[in-house]
Structure 1
């Protein structure tokens, strides 16, 4: 999802989590994309919505989300996990 896009969330019934989604600061992400030579400009521009369909990528994403949401970890390992992903 792009920043400022309307989102409708419909979790599975009887389940607190039907999906994982990260909300990331667009300015921070734009700067990170420049740092790693993925984009030439640190100005944010929207991209096409995407869905992870490869099981390995999805499993990695879930692991990152669980790490970031953990209340047992400090911010340093969370930051490292985010950068590695």
Structure 2
């Protein structure tokens, strides 16, 4: 059940904010393989949050639809 006050675009904005937080966070004081794994996971987290943060979100008959354009920017004419 979707609450009446659910705002899909607000959710997208929260993902955009999360992407910025991941991008801007510092590295913990770890070295070696743990540091590399942390950096790799941060890159994956950023990519996931950024994609959802760029989505067009709509509710269609109670179904949340996220439309994400994965084409290169040149392909969309910008």
Higher helix share: 2
Relative to the length of structure 1, the TM-score reads 0.32
Q: TM-score, normalised by structure 2?
A: 0.34
Larger radius of gyration: 2
Higher relative contact order (CA 8 A, sep 6+): 2
